Amino acid sequence: MSRRRRSAGDLWWKNAVIYCLDVQTFLDSDGDGCGDLGGLTERIDYLEGLGVTCLWLMPFYPSPERDDGYDIVDFYGVDERLGTLGTFVEMVRTAQDRGIRVIVDLVVNHTSHNHPWFRSARKGRDAPFHDFYVWRDEKPDDKPKDVVFPGEERSTWAWDDQAGQWYYHRFYTEQPDLNTANPAVRDEIALVAGFWLALGLAGFRVDAVPFLIEESDRAAAASQEPHELMRDLRAYLTRRRGDAVLLGEVNLPPDQAVEYFGETADELTMEFAFTVNQAMYLALVREDAGPLVKALRSLPEIPRECQWVNFVRSHDELTLDQLSEDERGEVFAALGPEPDVQLYGRGIRRRLPSMLDGDERRVRMVYSLMFSLPGTPALFYGEEIGMTENLDIAGRLSVRSPMQWSGERHAGFSPAPEGARLCRPIPDGAKVTVESQRRDPDSLLNWMERLIRRRKECPELGWGRLELLESAGPVLAHRSDWQGRTVVAVHNLSGRPAQVRLPRDDGWERLTDLLGTDDHAPGDELELEPYGHRWFRPG
């Protein structure tokens, strides 16, 4: 089927503000210690007030929770602790009433070992779902890079006594990989996506896309082209909802990541800008914009219908695997030197304020930078108030502690009795809360609301073309132009004053400060205070 060319009105994600949350850690409405869809629905107005236009939900499906819900036993259900399909639809409709679209995690590169498909597959080679998974009679050789969780898993192959064969798993042993080269599996993936679209979703965040389309079963894949899976899924979604999005997790260098958009923009709609994110942290540590400039210049031209998504922190560890070993060591030494906060040899399991020693000047500069980069910004819940992690929670889950709403019991997350067991523990004496920051006009929360409002008023940043401006040392200066309008942004990545010369252009008389009152004339020499940042609109 030929893909119709989308109008500007269809490309809503170009100027969206994405907010990611885990339902079970956002708000508990019934006192059982676990967040739920009812609690999320109560807080939709909060998200609208913050300026969110796209809500991304982490997995909420029935799961034994070996991998925080990414090990799924029913792709068509809602975990009974979190609600029902009815409460899910009510939440989606409430969000739509507030102008917020909802996307959810589509996790179809593997299932839980408790999924009915795998339970059937284990019964033998002639079982109905045996070919839904990847099996071998002899264990293939492993490559160290293939293990996603080094230190927790030694191999990507596990023996199953009942089947009498080895099965493939990229993640945990309890997460057997689906054989996506099997046309029947691809049909099931489409059915799952279609089911949730029919309940009002605007699209999906697709987990671990390179793993999803890899040729795990080379014999079955002989007649399949790996990227055909994404093209077929995109076409299927577009037929059912013309403005549906596929936001992909593709942690690869730009020259490889761009392939997942498709040659004719017929695969992923958006991709996370992992290369830019990792370079940003190296630039912060060095107080030198050079690594970030290099990363931005490495981004290839992408189709008009596609978009990079910028972020400061994801829901996993801060992944630094695209940096060299020496560069990664620099970031570890500065932002997470303790072995306990380093994970899998590639990441840091802390949130931004902890990594930056609570320096709010620096925190604000980082978010100003992220929101000013051309693309779509994404926030992880709690970032708007500067929440920190809870290192008492093991592994990458340390950054997924419950949302801190108030100074009440359990930080306002749950009405459960004192001493009740929550889905995850909250740090004792949590002082960073929504309630306290709402009362403070100079708080991070109120500043973030103003930043988001200004970002939504600057479509140049979502639609325009990036041009890096001449600057040196710690200063990143760039402009974004679209339909005769321009935004100029300058950021000082260092803890010392820095100078930058503002650009001039024909017809410019004044550079209006969009984040304050520090207007300037084109061509002025601007001195930025430590971690200073400005957005300007020429006029």
Q: What digits encode the pLDDT tens for the residues 69-96? A: 999 999 999 999 999 999 999 999 999 9
Listed by start position, the domains of the chain span 8-108+203-208+236-456, 116-168, 465-538
pLDDT at position 4: 43
Distance CA 29, CA 406 (A): 15
pLDDT higher than 80, residue 217: no
Distance CA 378, CA 451 (A): 13
pLDDT at position 497: 98
What H or E segment, with its residue span, contains residue 103?
strand 101-106
Query: pLDDT-derived band of residue 216, with 50, 70 and 90 as boundaries?
Result: low
Query: pLDDT-derived band of residue 492, with 50, 70 and 90 as boundaries?
Result: very high
Q: How many C-beta atoms lie closer than 10 Å to residue 512's C-beta?
A: 13
Query: Catalytic amino acids?
Result: 207, 249
Q: How far is CA 148 from the centre of its chain?
A: 18
| Mean local confidence (pLDDT), 498-502 | 97
pLDDT at position 3: 42
pTM, to two decimals = 0.96
- Greater confidence (297 vs 428) lies with 297
pLDDT higher than 90, residue 259: yes
pLDDT at position 224: 66
Strands 347-348 and 318-319: antiparallel
- Specify the CATH number of the domain 116-168: 3.90.400.10
Query: pLDDT-derived band of residue 187, with 50, 70 and 90 as boundaries?
Result: very high
Distance CA 479, CA 503 (A): 9
Q: What is the 3-state secondary structure (H, E, C) of 459-507?
A: HHHHHCEEEECCCCCCEEEEEEEECCEEEEEEEECCCCCEEEECCCCCC
Choice among 49-53, 117-121, 210-214 with the minimum mean pLDDT: 210-214
Q: Where are the beta strands (DSSP E) in 232-306?
A: 245-248, 270-272
pLDDT at position 7: 53
Q: Which fold has domain 8-108+203-208+236-456?
A: TIM Barrel (3.20.20)
Select 465-538's CATH number: 2.60.40.1180, 3.90.1150.10, 3.30.360.10, 2.60.40.10: 2.60.40.1180
